A and B are shown apart, each in its own frame.
Chain A
Amino acid sequence: MADSVWGSASAAAVPTVTVRSRHSAVVRATHWITTLAFLALLVTGVEILISHPRFYWGEAGNVLSPPLFKLPIPASRSTVPTGYGYVLPDQNGWSRYLHFQSAWVAVLTGLLYLCFGFVTGHFRRNLLPARARFSRAIAQQLRFWPKRTEDAGSYNVLQRLTYLMVIFGLFPMVIWTGLAMSPAIASAIPPVVTILGGQQSARTLHFFVSVLLVLFLVIHIVMVGLSGFRSRVGAMITGRSAARRETT
């Protein structure tokens, strides 16, 4: 049953337009695996955070030392002074198990994606902006972007820069700052944590980089929505660009 529905739908779409391949299978698979892993990391990260919603700079910090800042939220531990008269339920156990398991999924998927990106030229072709077009293109895109029908087959300069920053900046940073909190990793490779200014600095930076990643996620979803949610999400699932189907 399901097969015949699928078959007729694609049979109707294929003859009318030239369907281009927008995302390769590896990009699509790694995109959605990373999405799931990231959401798990986010939920469990918040859960771990509320057991001590205070941040410090340097090597050490606890409720007896002055915080760099604290979040105005209740905590899941009674030892943390928050100003709230209640303590949230403690969910750290499974949150930590799931956080690290999802981190492994994200890291291994990311490595697969990196290998694929370098070997096939995906980064050079789809993400590296052409130098000549740089400043004029950015100015132009800020004025007119986003446009629904604009060149659906490739990314503009701003998109390319954003994706490059997320892939080669934020993701490596969030992994690094996460590893820097590990006492065992710090024992084997001390510069992992000393370069960041200490274990508590690493925790604080881990939080800020995560905030930037969430900001990217929100903008990413808004942009996908503005440029045609169904066709863009469809393209990331099936690999086909459905932009032309929309305009016909």
Chain B
Amino acid sequence: MRKISRRTLVTTGLAATAGASGIAVAASLARRYGLIPPDAGGIYGPGETLTYAAQRLLTRHSSAREFERSQISKPPFANEVAPLGDAFKRLQEGAFADWRLTVDGMVARPASFSLAELKGFPVRSQITHLACEEGWSYIAEWSGVPLSHVLNLVGTLPQARYLVYRSIQPDWWESIDMADALHPQTLIAHGINGGELPVPFGGPLRLRVPRQLGYKSLKYTTRLTLTDNLKQFGKGLGSAEPETGYSWYAGI
């Protein structure tokens, strides 16, 4: 049997103590500051929680990189979507004049905005990168009303912790935490590269979340719901993506 030196003993003891107390402190902080993602159950929960918690601590207020106009991808690439349903086609025939965005849940004044009303709100434009989980990406200039502007209009209640947003396409919905919902770069986008937002890119309305992968930027957005609990939506995993095997948090 090898003799254990005092140095080894002290080092191991210190490392074990630091490790154990580190985990305990981290777990308690994670619970207090809402750093546990809704898809934290299951075998990939520890990795998801570490990623989400670490990135929330590091990126709560950081801004997505913005680019020069000369860096815009020509042409950008619109990923394919499932065939558009009848509800969408009816609105498309009317040039989206009747498209509405409903805001409800934990808000003081639930509201519903027409496309024209949304376009009348202050416009923010930003040239950002959209990366797909598949590996490809493009840079485009997105224009729209900052989501925070609309949330201020309806009066988000302080207990709201997540924003659930739904597409007109059936079973297509997402959610983000308030750090992303109130982030100045999160837009209700209605324009791209100086023009209208074409249907393949999610037009007429796409919730653009530039600090996460493309699939969090939901196409054909029709409804925003503020909540303090994601368990009551779908299978309780936070969005449609974890139900098909993809992670809820996509800041990666």
Contact = CB atoms under 8 A, between A and B. Distances in A.
Interface residues of B, number: 46
A203 B134 CA distance: 11
21 contacts: A54-B135, A62-B73, A62-B138, A63-B136, A64-B75, A79-B80, A92-B134, A93-B244, A93-B245, A94-B245, A100-B48, A102-B47, A104-B50, A181-B252, A183-B64, A183-B211, A183-B212, A184-B62, A185-B59, A185-B251, A187-B65
B168 interface: no
A186 B133 contact: no
A51 B47 contact: no
Interface of B: 2, 7-8, 11, 15, 44, 46-48, 50-51, 55, 58-59, 62-65, 67, 71, 73, 75-77, 79-80, 129, 131-139, 210-213, 244-247, 251-252
A187 B64 contact: yes
B138 A183 contact: no
Interface residues of A, number: 46
Contacts of A185: 55, 58-59, 251-252
Given A51-B133, A101-B47, A189-B58, 10 more contacts: A61-B136, A62-B138, A64-B77, A92-B133, A96-B246, A98-B44, A115-B15, A183-B251, A190-B65, A200-B137
A93 B48 CA distance: 13
The binding surface of chain B is classed by DSSP as: loop
B95 to A, nearest CB: 27
A119 B62 CA distance: 35
A98 B55 CA distance: 18
B55 A184 contact: yes
Contacts of A60: 71, 73, 129, 137-139
B137 A184 contact: no
Given A97-B44, A104-B47, A199-B129, A61 B245 contact: no
Contacts of A119: 11
A97 B137 CA distance: 20
Contacts of A77: 134
